[in-house]
Amino acid sequence: MACPPIIATATRPKMAPSMAFPTARLTAMPSRSRKSPCLLAPWAPSPVSVASSSDTSGKKTTSLLANDELHSAWRQLCAPPRGRNLEANNGTRSGQISGFFLMRDYAERFGELQSDGSYTFSAARQGTIVGLLSVGALFGALVAGKMADTVGRRITISASAFFTCIGTIIEISSSHHWVQFAVGRLVSGLSIGSLSVVVPMYQGESTPAVIRGVIISSYQLLITLGIWTAEMVNWGTESKASSAAWRIPNGLSFAWALILGVGILFLPESPRYAYGKGRVDEARDTIARLSGLPPHSDGVNHQIDDIHQKLEQENESQKAFQFSEIFTGPRMMYRTTLGIVLQAGQQLTGANFFFYFGTTVFAATGISNSYTTQIILGSVNVFCTVIGLWIIKRFGRRPILMIGAAWMMMCFLVYAFVGHFALDNEDPMRTPKAGSALVTFSCLAIAAFAVSWGPLVWTVNAELYPLRYRSTCMGLATASNWLWNFLISFFTRFITDAIDYLYGLVFAGCCAALVVIVFFFVIESKDRTLEEIDTMYVRHVSAIRSGHWDTQDYRQEVRRRSEARSEAARSDGRADNNEA
């Protein structure tokens, strides 16, 4: 979704004529073939303890109330309507379009009639319909941060869902004007881009440290589940001869968005946002509610003290926030650049590459139905993302990101060389061994992405920034994700026409670079509060040794400041009493 990277290409270089589907060609004859390669499915353009803290001896504690971990995690994941449907909505929007181009009624309405009676989508028309979602998402991501700071996280999410409803209505009401359908996707893109910023932000600010990685990573899980659902619905409706074939799947987005837009209003506001607006009691009650702790327990007090100290430090200048501060603030150039690079890196891991070549590769093993290919790859994606939630909770951020990138790099190397030198592109069924190898490494690469760069980038991006800069920085970083989403989806078709499977070497190089970037620049933030993570960056804690950073000094500083505030409050109270 990841921001769902969208590839809806319709041609494959060097295909046999019997298999080729040039520019999404559909004939106007009554019968339908289910054996055409498809436009490949897009890959999806994130309580126990209140915090990970240290006791007075400086030893790190990952839980203040370990007995309540399952109870609190269940609250976070399942409290209705916990907003989980918003990620499914994003995935559904992204997973639909690849199947639409293969549907007869859709092609007859929005394609171009050829002299032989067939309907085609030119590269420009197809690219515009697909790409405008990414363009809208890019702009939605850029404006979401300011809106979230102005009206709050919940209202921004609700308003964004409203734009999805508008976009869906525009698309469904399209009759024969492809431009209208494309405009509908542009409007929906504004919603998706905004949600891709504010939802991980809301989750990160509301979730206890011990399960924050799992909760934010569930954003990616619901995206992949939404894509898989869209693929299944497309498979169920594609045989219909009427517009119901594509209007029914499209209508699902309206239902998801409506539930989200109304349901999110019944959830509490982010405690950090509420505290920043002076609503201290609301923030305290929200932390207590989500953590399953009494409002004035030590765990809640620790969290409130952390938030207060960071806000106090951020607001020392007493100046209104300026955009330039995301580069000039404490270690902010480092963090802003890192967030942009990581979000771009999620796209540059090249997950789309495997979807793009999927139909040809699966044809070598006897599977040539486009929708079947989508469902197989989508099922691997969903299953491995579920496993990834446990892996993230167990092993942290850095090792998973590095191993995932290295794993994908090896898959790309095998894929590129076997695909270019061993697979018969004219008739893949003549080289079944090469096809089987490529199918295996396709699934392995998708598995690696699903447990690492797919979900974890959202988590790391939500943890990088202090509250004063968080919304702006997350918006900018997420916009870079959508920008690369669009660039890769638009240019992949032209690049693969020229170098076919060797395109994988480009992504192999990107994965190798990402291993180095994570090793030297990304700190380990597992089980740490957002305030502790901010302190680690400000104090220039080495990324390599960050997993062993001791919070003793930080905790003592927070305690001293808290005691000083309490003493000042008592002194003020005594002075007032004396005057009275």
CA neighbor of 347 nearest in space, from 212, 219, 233, 484: 484
CA neighbor of 14 nearest in space, from 497, 533, 556, 338: 497
What DSSP character marks residue 66?
A: G
What are residue 27's phi and psi, to 5 degrees? -85, 160
Burial of 294 (0-12, 13-18, 19+ CB in 10 A): exposed
Write down the pLDDT at residue 12: 39
Q: How many residues does the chain have?
A: 580
Write down the pLDDT at residue 156: 92
Residues 6+ apart with CB under 8 A from 31: none
Phi-psi region of 37 (alpha: psi -120 to 50; beta: other; left: phi over 0): beta
Residues 6+ apart with CB under 8 A from 287: 50, 271, 293, 300, 303, 304
CA neighbor of 341 nearest in space, from 544, 515, 193, 514: 514
Query: Which residue shows structure tokens 């431009």?
Result: 179
Q: Where are the domains of the chain?
A: 22-31+42-48+77-268+323-546
pLDDT in tens, 303-323: 888 888 778 777 765 577 778
DSSP 68-92: GHHHHHHHHHHSTT-STHHHHHHHH
Residues 6+ apart with CB under 8 A from 16: 426, 427
3-state secondary structure of 573: helix
Q: Are 440 and 477 in contact (CB under 8 A)?
A: no
Beta-sheet strands, E only, within 250-386: none
The number of beta carbons lying within 10 Å of the beta carbon of residue 409 is 23
User: Hey, CA dihedral for 339, 340, 344, 345, is it positive or negative?
Assistant: negative
Write down the pLDDT at residue 233: 82
| Dist. CA 72–CA 159, nearest whole Å | 28
Strand order in the sheet with 26-27: 26-27, 118-120, 112-113
Write down the pLDDT at residue 510: 95
Crossing angle for the helix pair 398-421 and 370-395, to the nearest 10 degrees: 150
Write down the pLDDT at residue 569: 61
pLDDT in tens, 134-172: 889 999 999 988 898 888 899 999 999 888 889 989 988
CATH of domain 22-31+42-48+77-268+323-546: 1.20.1250.20
Residues of the chain with pLDDT under 50: 1, 3-85, 88, 91
DSSP 374-392: HHHHHHHHHHHHHHHHHHH
Q: Are 181 and 110 in contact (CB under 8 A)?
A: yes
| Dist. CA 407–CA 451, nearest whole Å | 11
Q: Are 153 and 205 in contact (CB under 8 A)?
A: yes
What are residue 39's phi and psi, to 5 degrees? -70, 125
| Dist. CA 40–CA 14, nearest whole Å | 17
Peptide bond into 81 cis (omega under 30): yes
Q: Are 200 and 157 in contact (CB under 8 A)?
A: no
| Dist. CA 267–CA 273, nearest whole Å | 14
Write down the pLDDT at residue 175: 84
